[in-house]
Amino acid sequence: MTASVSARSLDAVFFDLDGVLIDSEGVWDAARRAVVMEAGGHWRASATRAMMGMSAAEWSQYLRDELGVPLDATEINERVVARLLAGYQQQLPLLPGAVSAVRRLAARWPLGLASASNREVIDAVLAASGLADSFAVTVSGDEVAHGKPAPDIYLAAARNLGVAPASAAAVEDSSNGLRAAAAAGMLVVAIPNQTFPPSADALALATLVFGSLDELTSAAIDSVN
């Protein structure tokens, strides 16, 4: 845990989805990589990190323009999401402690979900996990102008929930997610992604840093308020 900051009263907590509640970054990576290779594009080692936090429109365009996929962005998006959802139907990769952490915090604060994932992916994950009733609002990257690290998705989630961003906390795992939450003016809580860890400068934006979802409790968040 990092040092505390000046006291603030929290009215809500927002969660990211990919890498925070589900171990999905590798699944997204595999689905995108397969579409790129099947279509005759060229995968880059830097592509995974580059696309973390991008909206569907942004990463579909990235596959087309940067990785050479000769399809329109809509078809790229559809192919990737179809692969992803097929995998989730077989097994939903919930991270250990995800359900308990969400339920713990939902007992204390209104919760929102701010995820770069497509709307159909968000809805499928929340339905399969039984967590749909825990979130008062959900916002998809499809529904804002710019994906993370821009603050758009967190600002929209706060607006939809009727809270000021400065009175909310955001739980994130990646560099782009941490930067988005900080840019929105929220209290940044980091649970660093183990496979794709955030950069040191992005992690430095977090007021709280936890090793797992089991450490994410209302008491821990209250410790800086």
Per residue in 48-79, pLDDT (tens digit) is: 988 988 889 999 999 999 999 999 999 999 99
C-alpha to C-alpha distances, 152 to 39, 115, 171, nearest whole angstrom:
32, 11, 16
At the second CATH level, the architecture of 12-23+94-222 is 3-Layer(aba) Sandwich (3.40)
Estimate the crossing angle of helix 25-38 against helix 73-90, to 10 degrees.
130
Amino acid identity of residue 78, one-letter, is E
Residue-level pLDDT at 157? 98
Residue-level pLDDT at 196? 86
Low-confidence ranges of the chain (pLDDT < 50): 1-6
Cβ-in-10-Å burial (0-12, 13-18, 19+) of 34 comes to middle
Q: How far is CA 14 from the centre of its chain?
A: 10
Residue pair 14/168 in contact by the 8 Å Cβ criterion: yes
Residue-level pLDDT at 195? 86
Q: Quote the tokens at residue 83.
A: 């692969």
Residue-level pLDDT at 75? 97
Cβ-in-10-Å burial (0-12, 13-18, 19+) of 94 comes to middle
Estimate the crossing angle of helix 56-65 against helix 73-90, to 10 degrees.
120
Closest by CA to 148, choosing from 3, 20, 6, 11, is 20
Task: Output the DSSP codes for 139-208.
Answer: EEGGGSSS-TTSSHHHHHHHHHHT--GGGEEEEE-SHHHHHHHHHTTPEEEE---SSSPPPHHHHTT-SE
Residue-level pLDDT at 9? 84
The pTM of the full predicted model, rounded to 2 decimals, is 0.88
Residue 132 per-residue DSSP state: G
- Compute the distance between CA of residue 44 and CA of residue 21 in angstroms, rounded to an integer: 27
Q: Which residues contact 125 (CB under 8 A, 6 or more apart)?
A: 17, 21, 22, 88, 92, 117
Residue-level pLDDT at 4? 37
Cα pseudo-dihedral 110, 115, 117, 122, rounded to 10: -10
Residue pair 104/210 in contact by the 8 Å Cβ criterion: no
